[in-house]
A and B are shown apart, each in its own frame.
Chain A
């Protein structure tokens, strides 16, 4: 192995170059675009885009809505996925099938997921049919209008939970598989209850997986867009849908970039928080 010194660099060079071109360059461009505005005599540095963004009537709503979704959906998905992962450990027959069914939503786009739940939640949808049959409502009822913000939020939360719990589940199940059964058995021998086994043994050992899942889910939740558009339309602006509207409908790339910067800063901050809060000390690894 004469050329070991150079080999790894040659191997990572293509991907590094790629990420530089398609990640770092647009990242810098986004920031630059966000902080530039057409002034007299071409583009000049300014915070005008941010001022327009902050002054827009949907901005506050978009921030609040985005955070509401993240704050509700992410913990909900984590609990749901933890429960499912724990249940899976006790499934003997048909584990493969159950696992497959539970991970199906992993492959479903948020656009499709939005449409799925739209079919259920429209005025003449299946939910109202069931509620009507139960006598809860009389006739079609609207859940997704601006007059029913709570129901709309709930609908989006449910759709998000339906679609994206699978990814948390997969990460957690993978993490659970790395935890030797003996640890739980040892705790069992020493008299731990099932709940104690879960909180004292499983949860701490799953910390790295939980961290990954939280980071990924949170970043993706900030990216949420098509599901909100299909269910809420303009009734439920979120940060990325606003970025999309500014770019696509309003054709104002600067304000769109400003939104993008906001989303990125929030995502990065959330990631850092998770990294610090869920740190595993090196001596415990």
Chain B
């Protein structure tokens, strides 16, 4: 088992900078998700850890050893690829035992290990089949089994669930979490799906434009986004943002008067849709409903406040008609403030 330290790693492809000086520490046995939109550099970072890509500068340490100059095979890690990369010309058993064969393990050990992970991932019936005869979900299991078979100190996963359909993804997510918790492997998991990251990870590192903008436990990321970007990327629906003028250290919104953490001319107020409650007229701010989407567990209302679009998660029995004007107000203590210019979160007193 090993701790991963990423020390000021920078990666540039010619003039294009993919990663700007990223530093990160993944504790032994920890499950870290790298979350971000496509093109943010999360896969590049994962590939640098794996040794498939060479950083322009900086170091990668695994288990205290500097592996920056080592080829992938000498880094003692395993990886699950986005398209699984299950070798089509080998049987499932040969695939699962591949890493062990490469390390020169004896046959009995390989057989034992293959049987064990196959049982864990429920792929025993397919061991003698070729990957071409398997479904996507089964291939995914094989890819994970192949990674776990070598009992790696570090497991890297690159969007392993993105090629599965929604239902299968949910199922595999739960299974993966169970298996990995039992194995206690240090895991770095790349995804652009925030629910996957929230559900699986001990901690989430949110990447944006080649930088880590926030690294925290999932609930903290959700509750207290470090930037406007994090708020809008994590959570469904994304956080609402209202740009409001500041007067005398306060902002006014309908009948609300809230203390602003800044004295700049404007400030951004961030509040999640489920943290807005519908109140009687005169107590909140007016919200003109445009679209009503009954979702079963709740009703999603889209409308505008002072000309800016927000979404409100209302109870499922609430059925306003488009065009209605409701009054809403944020729950106590569930408001985030961001700098209007930089989008960075501002410290608030009532935290």
Contacts and interface: CB of A to CB of B under 8 A. Distances in A.
Direct contact of A and B (CB under 8 A): yes
A277 interface: no
B39 interface: no
Nearest to A4: B54
A52 to B, nearest CB: 56
Interface in B290-348: none
A1 B48 CA distance: 11
A8 to B, nearest CB: 16
Interface residues of A, number: 2
B71 interface: yes
A2 B71 CA distance: 8
B331 to A, nearest CB: 50
Contacts of A1: 52, 54, 71
A82 B71 CA distance: 50
Interface string A1-43: 1100000000000000000000000000000000000000000
Contacts of A2: 69, 71
Contacts of B54: 1
A189 B344 CA distance: 51
A149 to B, nearest CB: 58
A4 to B, nearest CB: 8
Nearest to B70: A2
A5 to B, nearest CB: 11
B74 to A, nearest CB: 12
Interface in B225-256: none
A2 B52 CA distance: 10
Interface string B34-56: 00000000000000000010100
A53 to B, nearest CB: 52
B192 to A, nearest CB: 26
Interface string B50-75: 00101000000000000001010000
A1 B55 CA distance: 11
Contacts of B69: 2
A2 B68 CA distance: 11
A148 B71 CA distance: 73
B47 to A, nearest CB: 11
Contacts of B52: 1
A285 B99 CA distance: 40
A2 B67 CA distance: 13
Contacts of B71: 1-2
A78 B52 CA distance: 46
Interface string A226-247: 0000000000000000000000
Interface in A170-226: none
A276 to B, nearest CB: 31
A2 to B, nearest CB: 7
Interface in B6-42: none
A129 to B, nearest CB: 54
Nearest to B72: A1
B53 to A, nearest CB: 9
A2 B73 CA distance: 13
A1 B293 CA distance: 52
A236 to B, nearest CB: 52
Nearest to B69: A2
A64 B183 CA distance: 80
Nearest to B51: A1
A131 to B, nearest CB: 56
A218 B52 CA distance: 45
A55 to B, nearest CB: 58
Interface in B57-101: 69, 71
A3 to B, nearest CB: 10
A4 B54 CA distance: 11
A64 B69 CA distance: 66
A137 B27 CA distance: 95
Interface of B: 52, 54, 69, 71
5 contacts: A1-B52, A1-B54, A1-B71, A2-B69, A2-B71
Interface of A: 1-2
Closest 3 CB pairs of A and B: A1-B54, A1-B71, A2-B71
